[in-house]
Amino acid sequence: MFLTISKNLNLALALLLELCVLVALGYWGFQTGQGMIAKIGLGLGAPIVAVIVWAIFGAPRSTRRLKGFGLLILRVLFFGAAALALFAASQHILSVIFAFLVVLNLSLLYLWAQ
């Protein structure tokens, strides 16, 4: 029973981390863009691109979902981009915490074959 609860919590963490990627990319865009148009373009554009890429290649129900090593690379790039975005936006501690949670989550996803 404890293992079932832990697996469900890990899946919930995975969803939360996916949403955090969008927030992190948006935050980065609004913080680093030079001028209002660039801020809006990056702040909205980066999360939109991330959603499209994830929906096509990473979503569990996608017909084009990557498998195996390809999916691992996509996850590293997807979540790594968010960690780097937070770091670039001067959110160093938040970046490290996010990266730690991603490594923990991905390790458990692969350990439990989720």
Residue 77's pLDDT is: 97
Residue 51's pLDDT is: 97
What's the N-to-C CA distance of the chain in angstroms? 16
Residue 76's pLDDT is: 95
Residue 28's pLDDT is: 98
Residue 35's pLDDT is: 94
List, in order, residues 6 or more apart from 40 with CB less than 8 Å away.
30, 33
Per-position pLDDT tens, the chain of length 114? 999 999 999 999 999 999 999 999 999 999 998 999 999 999 999 999 999 999 999 999 999 999 999 999 999 999 999 999 999 999 999 999 999 999 999 999 999 998
Residue 37's pLDDT is: 96
What b/e sequence results for 1-33 when a residue is b if at least 16 CB atoms lie within 10 Å of its CB, and e otherwise? Answer: eeeeeebeebeebbeebbebbbebbbbbbbbbb
With a threshold of 0.85, does the pTM exceed it?
Answer: yes
Residue 23's pLDDT is: 98
CA R_g for the chain? 15
Residue 103's pLDDT is: 97
